[in-house]
Amino acid sequence: MIKGIAQFIAALNGNLKRGQIASGFAWGVLFGLVPAGNFFWIALFVLSFFFRHHHGSKLLVMAIFKALFFAIAPLTDALGWEILHLESLEEFFTTLYNLPFVPFTGFNNTVVAGGLAAGIVLWIPVYFAVRALVPFYRKSLGPKVRNSKLVQNITKAPLISSILSTAHSIQEKAAHFS
């Protein structure tokens, strides 16, 4: 986890393309909303490795959403219930349920259906919001945060200093290879 946070810090402050960071955030939101261990979650997680994005930001955002999952789950449950009880989709869901293997995906679980729908709907807005915020962070917010007294005091803590030293070494390696 420390390496993921360090990679994220290095990516934000480095020359990684903002689209890759934004894509990692969007994937993280999707994975954070779908319950882990579910077939859809596993299939999407494997599928995500075929796309170019920042894995550190994906894992960090996913961890944040998973930590908040019990607060988010009632919302995704309600959304999933609404989706699964749409009369216009009743025949489609019945057909899916009667297919071999498909019921094992958990598509008929309200939390899975709601999380998947919310993650898919939020993917594009999250992508464009983060893509727009990365340059703002790099130009305006980043230097102010790094030079604040609070951050200066926090960076003296052993765990934080190890994260920052790892991030610095990652940035140096990335600069060496580019």
Q: Where are the domains of the chain?
A: 2-177
Confidence check: pLDDT of 111 > 60: yes
- What pLDDT, on a 0 to 100 scale, did the predictor assign at position 88? 93
d(CA 49, CA 27): 10
Give the tens place of pLDDT for each residue, 142-169: 777 777 777 677 677 777 777 777 767 7
Number of Cβ within 10 Å of residue 118's Cβ equals: 21
Amino acid at 137: Y
- Provide the pLDDT confidence category of residue 104 given band limits of 50, 70 and 90: confident
| Cα–Cα dist 178/175, whole Å | 5
* Whether 21 contacts 52, CB under 8 Å: no
102 neighbors 96 (Cβ within 8 angstroms): yes
